[in-house]
Structure 1
Amino acid sequence: MSSQHPHLPASGKHLPISTYRLQLSKDFTFQDARKHLGYWQALGITDLFLSPILQAVPGSMHGYDVVDHRHISAELGGRNAFEDLADAAHRAGLSIIVDLVPNHMAVPTPVWINLPMWSLLKQGKDSPYSHWFDIDIDQPILMPVLGKRIGQVLADQEISLEQLAVPGEDKLGKQWVLRYFDHYFPVATGTEALPMEVLLERQHYRLAHWKVADEELNYRRFFDIDSLAALRVEERDVFDSTHALLLQLFNAGFIDGFRVDHPDGLADPAGYFHWLSEATGGAWIAGEKILEDAERLPSDWSICGTTGYDTAWRLTALQVDSRASLPLGTLMQSITGDSPSSYRQIERQSKAQIIDTSLAAEVRRIGQLLWRICQNDFRLRDYTFRSLLDCLRELIMQMPAYRSYVTVGQPASNISREIVQSAATRALRQLDSEHSDTMEVIVSLVLGDKIGSAALNISDRDRQEFLVRFQQVCGAVMAKGVEDTTFYRWTHLLCLNEVGSNPQAFGVSADSVHLFASDIQSNWPATMTTSSTHDTKRGEDVRMRLAVLSQYPTLWTQIVSDLRDTTQVYRPNDLDGRSENMLWQTLIGTWDDNGSISSPRLRQYLLKAIREQKSWTTWTNPDTVRENELLDFADQIICDPQVAEIVSRWHGETEQATAYTILANKALQLTMPGVADVYQGSEITQTSLVDPDNRRPVDFSALSKMLSHLDTKGLDFSDASSLDQSKLYLTAAILRLRRRLPDCFVSAYATYQPLALSTGYAVAFARGTAREGAQIVTIARRLPGVLARYQGDFRSEHTVVLPKGSWKDICSNEVFSAGTQSLEELLFKRGARILERVD
């Protein structure tokens, strides 16, 4: 890292100013991306940010299911096509950021697509890859692929022994393999002549019914996805092997920086980032670290910052009126039965369900490890397995963050102690008082403290493993229990249910955003800021439309009442209240000038959402009758002309406030401290929902034509004929400004200065450098719907104080002088205004 600042790239290494996220797939390859370099250059970005480029499972639409670290994805075009894209991008003045996936590899069908996994299944402990995967190698590796229990599968003769040439191992000739429909598995040498039942018993793996996985799986997964097996990149040779190609491309100049996927799953994130930074000579690296509420990124991580969820949720909550918490909570309770104060209870119930179902195998694994530690220590033997498991389970439920940030061999920090000990205090409130001494033992082990005799070597190794695995399980429970369960049950205001968000923080103040931004500028000046990603549950514009609900709570309550009355005649008798409240908000959040989103998109989203709720239907045990009733109900809603009339009434009342909110959010995100990321297509308005909806193709040619038209016309931002034009014009203007004045936005000496305002309905700050002072001013609306209800718009007494100098609007020729200026004039018909100092 740079000697100037510990969290900037090293001297001579590339520093992004703005990135444009591309979702590559077989339908949008390296060659396809090359065709649009001119558009991204014209837009003003400095870096293309590519989804994973290594060889993934054939047909993958995202690339996170890597199967071969030695090759660039053939479906994306292969290595030559990637290098051609990188060369062309560099000639166009664009650098390349690549998404790196260190935590896991795919367990594909057939398994031979992942040759290291195939080798492990074939040779067990004798495989050169036996230490690659986070697997209990002392027992057969569970392969939960069977549609029926093994006895019935054998009785039906659905497993056969065959000989064939395994792709990638052709030099070995034909091999004996076991076939189960589309699944193929290797046969251990010398076992092929055995009777089928004996043969299966002699393998290094165990074929099992898919339902066995949740309780008995013996390899760590990416969360609860059986087809993604965790890697041990904490082993240096595994790190070197899995990173060799990408580092080779980096050293050759084709890659300029990295985004690291899911570092919370790693055994030692700090150690991993140190290795990666060292291997790249201090490149720009951003980690997909999910920070909860006021949680801080560890300062000893050798990265430049996060991928921006911490900024995204604050900017969303900035546009949420906290005074609407009660009326919207009352509405939620009337529909769902959930009270506004029940969030923590729902969160705890959701985590408990995940611990007892989809992550039961992981929790049981560390429970048995904990039990072994106690049994092997004379002083700890009297703690029973049940008491240990009860305390462990409750402690995991009460953990408020993905990790406790304790590293093996290092003393726990004060922050780590506070995280774990406060969670233990909350956990004990849910347990009998007799569990207090048991909890004390677990807390000591989680923090790496000495307890008991700690004399036996086996115990020492087990303690180290427990310290690591506890954190890995906590992260998985947070992701699956909160983000993928609680956030689908809690329907107070859906825009607050986002990755890294705190739905209980119903709105945040401008002052808190200023404090956050100032801290980022001081400590993480090259972190990433974002508003939409491939993982957000709703795109930025959908979230902003939903934030407007809080600005019109009375009107929204009436709209929902009218919608329910209108649709009562075809409403399912047992419609789930949470699903219904989610449906009404989704309807409004995705209904734009073109009307509702299509039926297939809405059905796809609702099906995923209700199964993620895990209340009355699930992925593993779907209630298809009730599901179809809900989906058919949604179809009728979007085709009902009376519904369209009600929605039009909402839009008529809130259209301007919605436009202002969308534009204000974009302006703030692009001018806050950090590297500004633009998710593909989000330079105009989108109705994107959770993946795969947010991975829909983008018409870059149409965007390029729109931008060219706006540039040719010399359009004044306030006179744009559509919200799409306004957003594109504003986005391009800011990105071009960032490229022209990079030091004001991303540097060790960039500055962030809140500006004095006479009202809470706006946010204003200046960006510049320590040497030259303020150079750019951002002024954006906040809660425009509330202002419209109370006052109509800004009045003459609403002012902002501009820094010294003359200030020109970057989207027009208007110039303003320093000192007190009228917001009525500055923000007339605008969601935001960006000024550049011109004297």
Structure 2
Amino acid sequence: MRLPSATYRLQLHAGFPLDAARELLPYLDSLGITDAYLSPVLQSRAGSAHGYDVTDPTRVRDELGGEVALARLAEEAHRRGMGVLLDIVPNHMAASVENPWWLDVLRSGPASPYAASFDIDWEPARAGLAGKVLLPVLTTHYGETLERGELAVVIGEDGLSVSYGDLRLPLAPRSQASVLGWGLGRLQRATGAADPGVLELATIVDGLAGGGPRVSDDTRSAIARLLRLVERDARIGRHVESTLRRWNGRPGDPRSFDLLDRLLDGQSYRVAYWPVADQEINYRRFFDVNDLVAVRVEDDRVFSDYLGTIVRLVQSGLVDGLRIDHVDGLHDPARFLERLRSAVGPETYIVVEKILAPGEELRPWPIQGTTGYEVLSAVNDLFVERSATGDPDTPDAGAVGGDAGFRDELYAAKRLVVTELFGGELRNLAQRLGRLAEQHRHGRDLTLTELGRALVGVTACLGVYRTYVDPRVEAPDRRVIEVAIAEAIRRDPDNVRATAFMRHVLLLDLPARSGPAQRALWIRFVMRWQQLASAAMAKGQEDTAFYRHVRVLSRNEVGADPALPPIDAPALHELLRSRAERWPHALSASSTHDTKRGEDVRARIDVMSELKEESAEREASWRRWCEERVGPAARGIGPDMARLLFQTIVGAWPNVPDPTFGDRIAAYAVKAAREAKRETSWRRPNDGYETALVAFARAIVDADETDVERRGLAVFAERVAALGVRVSLAQRLLTVTLPGVPDLYQGSEL
């Protein structure tokens, strides 16, 4: 196996394609980098800045230069003795009409050959969604959108489609026939049945009507004939235009939209107001991102279709190693990795994006390790003053370090995201759990309300991202499930029976007389719950609690646990000893595209923890100064949000004048507040609060340089930055020398 010694992450996009990356290889070689670590390269949405929204897994992205450009990069890398490590995205694709697989599913529904490729519930609890996909694309409620004329049937290169702004949604062939056939009889009477154009239109309508739900060659031929006919026969063109106006209705006349309403109701999708998705969506998403749909790579055919190009790139020698994105989102990570290893062979270097909780061990998968978040967290912790990490309002909290209050914040945050962001998945699982309970003597008297409560509680109490019951229940899974059950009972003692039943299910403790069919239902529930648990931890901790509960902000980072004291030197040595024995070739990250802040900002915040008294005094003075300038509106900005802003401003304070700093701080303040989901959120923005928050965040940045408070903060920030350089260098030294493969993010070497 070819093993990298140091990797360098390159974030590819249209402005930095593969040929530009190739031109950097001499520089990377001079740094001692052995492998160019590429962001995803498969065809993705036009203009994508990241490549995680794959639209066609069968080819390398055109905007990056295609496969020929990848071959040029690989050839130059190999000539220099370097390798190519490629990030792949097996969990999801873009839910976009740019994705031909998804487009076909929207057009043909369950009859599409790609219907099984996506994780869609074709028989959801909502009867009106049976056989349909919910499309949460509207900016307001469906009825209002329809009657304002914002949805319309138009003609284009794919025949007839539904227009909504820049979006074009397909119409089923039979629906196109219904529209085109409207008024055809009158046209025949007016022109004569023997008119060539009318005859041609009639045969096109018959062809579309008789083609079935799938798009066939005959369907494509009929659409091509339609476009040629409309172009050459002006009378037919006018007839089609007139027909479309009749179907599209007239704003101000609600009844005129009845035809279009019925037409839309006959499609294999249902357009909906976008917030509906969290409670009603019937396809699994990447977390709560509506336009990323989960792919069922657990299906052998889907695995081959979706990953065939990746496997070919490895087998052809263009790619030397793979990084697996979001492995915890997969249905069965172990089986996927075994299948992938078998496909690419034993000599291919593989690492997974797996976020380990403190004390959690990576499973013995056929890989070389993780992408290194556990190292990032541990190395940072070594430079954090332990006494600064406790609750500042609790006497002697710093003696031990860590803040147990974060546990309560995380519990509340996970409950929030499970019920609000994943309400549809939660309801589906609760109903499945109810069916299991009906077959169990200790579950049949439990109500769906009680079971749903237990489901939320246990999920919120799980201390790791997920378990790996497959269907074996191994000792690590049993331990974390038992702890979660006990904690859920402690927090909700009135629901102990339902929580105890959850324990039976998650540990696959079936009744003695259970048959294979019943066991399969229990396993199916657990496998599905594990995927929800992963999303709940990611959104609850990384994207909610980390923005709500702030002590030392550098510890509110992927892979860290602010509830625990910072790791000390002996514990770090033990972690590294274990890593050297078990995963010596795992990546050692210091920054990634998913970290909350850059490593230099984290280093400066670490310094602030060492200057905790001075930092606390400067923060208090800054906050009083901001409140005086912003006025009464500043009272709504709580201490955690203020501390987050203060540490961010000082940590990111520019070394040289930067006219964009105020705008960047303002944008970050709004993002942080919306992620916290308290006074404002992405789904329910609070304009008044956000206006006050921006004024609060910008006040010190926009103040005159002669202002005493601004000058004092600037002097403090400059001192922190100077000390932060030492911390940054020390952390870099550790990262490149400890067991593992140092991974540099693009630009972080500067």
TM bin, normalised by shorter chain, reads 0.7 to 0.9
**2:303 counterpart SS class:** helix
1:183 is the counterpart of 2:167: yes
Partner residue of 2:95 out of 73, 98, 107 = 107
In the superposition, the TM-score normalised over structure 1's length comes to 0.75
Partner residue of 1:632 out of 671, 684, 695 = 695
Change (3 A) 1:661 1:152: same
Could you tell me which residue of structure 2 aligns to residue 72 of structure 1? Answer: 60
Greater Cα offset, 257-266 or 154-163: 154-163
**Which deviations, in whole Å up to 9, do the C-alpha atoms of 1:787-823 show, x marking residues without a partner?**
xxxxxxxxxxxxxxxxxxxxxxxxxxxxxxxxxxxxx
Partner residue of 2:470 out of 403, 407, 411 = 407
| Matched-pair contact (CA < 8 Å) for 2:414–2:541 | yes
Which aligned pairs between 1:598-677 and structure 2 lie closer than 5 A?
598-640=661-703, 641=705, 642-651=708-717, 653-654=719-720, 656-677=722-743
Displacement of 1:488 in angstroms is 0.5
Change (3 A) 1:379 1:353: closer
Partner residue of 1:268 out of 332, 342, 351 = 332
Greater Cα offset, 365-374 or 63-72: 365-374
Could you tell me which residue of structure 2 aligns to residue 252 of structure 1? Answer: 316
**Which deviations, in whole Å up to 9, do the C-alpha atoms of 1:428-469 show, x marking residues without a partner?**
112234x33322322222223323753473x44432221111
| Matched-pair contact (CA < 8 Å) for 1:355–1:393 | yes
| Matched-pair contact (CA < 8 Å) for 1:327–1:554 | no
Greater Cα offset, 232-241 or 156-165: 156-165
Could you tell me which residue of structure 1 aligns to residue 110 of structure 2? Answer: 125
CA–CA separation in structure 1 for the residues paired with 2:408 and 2:57: 43
Could you tell me which residue of structure 2 aligns to residue 6 of structure 1? Answer: none
Could you tell me which residue of structure 2 aligns to residue 570 of structure 1? Answer: 629
1:550 is the counterpart of 2:609: yes
**Which deviations, in whole Å up to 9, do the C-alpha atoms of 1:224-248 show, x marking residues without a partner?**
1111000100001111111111111
CA–CA separation in structure 2 for the residues paired with 1:422 and 1:291: 17
Structure 1 counterpart of 2:363, one-letter code: P
CA–CA separation in structure 1 for the residues paired with 2:388 and 2:356: 26
More helix by share: 2
Displacement of 1:60 in angstroms is 0.7
Could you tell me which residue of structure 2 aligns to residue 795 of structure 1? Answer: none
1:463 is the counterpart of 2:522: yes
**Which deviations, in whole Å up to 9, do the C-alpha atoms of 1:207-256 show, x marking residues without a partner?**
11112111000111100111100010000111111111111111111100
Displacement of 1:497 in angstroms is 0.3
Displacement of 1:572 in angstroms is 4.2
Partner residue of 1:230 out of 257, 279, 294 = 294
Partner residue of 1:198 out of 237, 240, 262 = 262
CA–CA separation in structure 2 for the residues paired with 1:176 and 1:460: 47
Displacement of 1:580 in angstroms is 1.6
Which aligned pairs between 1:349-364 and structure 2 lie closer than 5 A?
349-364=412-427
Structure 1 counterpart of 2:153, one-letter code: L
**Which deviations, in whole Å up to 9, do the C-alpha atoms of 1:653-674 show, x marking residues without a partner?**
5455322211111100111101
Partner residue of 1:294 out of 359, 368, 372 = 359
Could you tell me which residue of structure 2 aligns to residue 446 of structure 1? Answer: 506
Could you tell me which residue of structure 2 aligns to residue 521 of structure 1? Answer: 580
Structure 2 counterpart of 1:190, one-letter code: R
1:239 is the counterpart of 2:239: no
Structure 2: runs of 5 or more not aligned: 124-129, 180-258
Q: Percent identity?
A: 35
Partner residue of 1:430 out of 491, 505, 511 = 491
Structure 1 counterpart of 2:599, one-letter code: E
**1:638 counterpart SS class:** helix
CA–CA separation in structure 1 for the residues paired with 2:579 and 2:547: 30
Partner residue of 1:59 out of 47, 52, 60 = 47
**1:191 counterpart SS class:** helix
CA–CA separation in structure 2 for the residues paired with 1:331 and 1:483: 28
Greater Cα offset, 185-194 or 50-59: 185-194
CA–CA separation in structure 2 for the residues paired with 1:62 and 1:160: 32
CA–CA separation in structure 1 for the residues paired with 2:299 and 2:33: 37
Could you tell me which residue of structure 1 aligns to residue 461 of structure 2? Answer: 398
Structure 1 counterpart of 2:571, one-letter code: S
| Matched-pair contact (CA < 8 Å) for 1:232–1:238 | yes
Could you tell me which residue of structure 2 aligns to residue 510 of structure 1? Answer: 569
Greater Cα offset, 643-652 or 138-147: 643-652
CA–CA separation in structure 2 for the residues paired with 1:418 and 1:625: 46
In the superposition, the TM-score normalised over structure 2's length comes to 0.84
CA–CA separation in structure 2 for the residues paired with 1:294 and 1:269: 20
**Which deviations, in whole Å up to 9, do the C-alpha atoms of 1:343-387 show, x marking residues without a partner?**
222111111111121111111111111112233567743222111
CA–CA separation in structure 2 for the residues paired with 1:261 and 1:332: 42
Displacement of 1:340 in angstroms is 4.9
| Matched-pair contact (CA < 8 Å) for 1:312–1:530 | yes
**Which deviations, in whole Å up to 9, do the C-alpha atoms of 1:130-170 show, x marking residues without a partner?**
1101101232111111222222222223222223223xxxx
Change (3 A) 1:245 1:652: closer
Change (3 A) 1:40 1:572: farther
1:35 is the counterpart of 2:19: no
Could you tell me which residue of structure 2 aligns to residue 590 of structure 1? Answer: 652
Displacement of 1:470 in angstroms is 0.6
More strand by share: 1
Structure 1: runs of 5 or more not aligned: 1-12, 167-174, 334-338, 685-839
CA–CA separation in structure 1 for the residues paired with 2:390 and 2:43: 50
**1:208 counterpart SS class:** strand
Structure 1 counterpart of 2:522, one-letter code: R
Could you tell me which residue of structure 1 aligns to residue 432 of structure 2? Answer: 369
**Which deviations, in whole Å up to 9, do the C-alpha atoms of 1:496-525 show, x marking residues without a partner?**
000110112232210000000000000111
1:217 is the counterpart of 2:277: no
Greater Cα offset, 439-448 or 397-406: 439-448
1:142 is the counterpart of 2:207: no
Could you tell me which residue of structure 1 aligns to residue 744 of structure 2? Answer: 678
Superposed CA RMSD in Å reads 2.1
**Which deviations, in whole Å up to 9, do the C-alpha atoms of 1:581-601 show, x marking residues without a partner?**
111100111114225662232
Displacement of 1:632 in angstroms is 2.9
**1:249 counterpart SS class:** helix
Could you tell me which residue of structure 2 aligns to residue 310 of structure 1? Answer: 374
**2:64 counterpart SS class:** coil
How many pairs does the alignment contain? 651
| Matched-pair contact (CA < 8 Å) for 1:332–1:491 | no
Displacement of 1:568 in angstroms is 3.9
Structure 1 counterpart of 2:13, one-letter code: S
Change (3 A) 1:594 1:440: same
Change (3 A) 1:481 1:332: farther
Could you tell me which residue of structure 2 aligns to residue 477 of structure 1? Answer: 536
CA–CA separation in structure 1 for the residues paired with 2:162 and 2:147: 16
CA–CA separation in structure 2 for the residues paired with 1:652 and 1:248: 52
Change (3 A) 1:91 1:406: same
CA–CA separation in structure 2 for the residues paired with 1:428 and 1:49: 45
CA–CA separation in structure 2 for the residues paired with 1:270 and 1:100: 17
Could you tell me which residue of structure 1 aligns to residue 232 of structure 2? Answer: none
